[in-house]
Structure 1
Amino acid sequence: MKSSLEATEMWFLRRMMRIPWTAKKTNEEILTKAQTTRRLMTKIRKRQAKFVGHVIRRNQLEHSVTTGKFDGKRGRGRPREKMLDSLADWMNIEKPSEMIRKMSCRVGWKSLIAHASRNGT
């Protein structure tokens, strides 16, 4: 998913700069010519983190769905990647349970998001 979003971002830049896709220009050349960096994934992660923090603090049905605390059988095959796991990886937090604990303080959570988006990948 990440690579397709980054490819889409580069496609947008090429379209705005009117560079055809057949031109032999690397993504780095396009970024330097546009005097910008890739920011789409950082913006997406930042919005996801804000939304998940909001959901966790409300402590309603969405909280249970997001944390995945339901009884029942696990599906076959490879486990799906969870949003909390990917956000914890983006924010350099060891465990999603530690991240959920940090979400309870709104001001602290916002500062963690700001720090992660500055270091963003």
Structure 2
Amino acid sequence: MAKAAFSKKKTLFTSKLDLNLRKKLVKCYIWSIAQYGAETWTLRAVDQKYLESFEMWCWRRMEKISWTDYVRNEEVLIRVSEQRNILHEIRKRKANWIGHILRGNCLLKEVIKGKTEGQIEVIRRQGRRRKKMLDDLGDRRGYSHLKEKALDRIKWRNCFGRDCGPVI
């Protein structure tokens, strides 16, 4: 959907407008479509590759660089004076949303925790266990540690701020 939105407004994003203005337009209109609902995603390595390649696709289209020109991604990022940050932005959104949920007292908090009242027959699935929402935050100390940090907003922001923690 985001590629389709970019293609609809391609003349605007590849025009003679100032580069900074075009970058702001892409981040405002295109990335908001691409990241819709990102707070609830559990990203696999394949999904991360798709998002990073989409980000580079946008910058290449803005600069009118064809994939047959053999221009490295690093050079494209230098030309547009940007860094890869779509995954970082998703991680930040996710941490803010999960912190908000963990501070509250609602049913969604119980769902994220993964424990509900009553007995449910558990069918063991074959293969690797499914990735949970809290697994993306990269904190291996567990749910109780995350909940304790979430209750203190300052600790939460320090832990999941700009340069802290792994990128999903």
Q: Is TM > 0.5 for Structure 1 vs Structure 2?
A: yes
Matched, 1:52 2:102: no
Give 1:112's aligned residue.
159
Deviation readout 1:13-41 (Å, 9 max, x if unpaired) = 11111111222112112112222110110
Deviation readout 1:71-121 (Å, 9 max, x if unpaired) = 53145132211121111x1xxx3323212221111222122222xx22464
Instruction: Check 1:79–1:107 CA distance in 2 against 1; reply closer, same or farther (3 A cut).
Output: same
Give me the TM-score of the superposition, normalised by structure 2.
0.62
Query: Given that residues 55 and 84 in structure 2 are in contact (C-alpha distance below 8 angstroms), is that contact kept between their aligned partners in structure 1?
Result: yes
Give me the TM-score of the superposition, normalised by structure 1.
0.83
Q: Secondary structure of 1:118's match?
A: coil
The whole-number CA distance in structure 1 between the counterparts of 2:58 and 2:80 is 11
Matched, 1:29 2:78: no
Q: Secondary structure of 2:95's match?
A: helix
The whole-number CA distance in structure 2 between the counterparts of 1:65 and 1:46 is 21
The whole-number CA distance in structure 2 between the counterparts of 1:74 and 1:58 is 31
How many residue pairs match? The answer is: 115
RMSD value over aligned CA atoms? 1.7
Which structure has the larger Rg?
2
Gaps (5+ residues) in structure 1? none
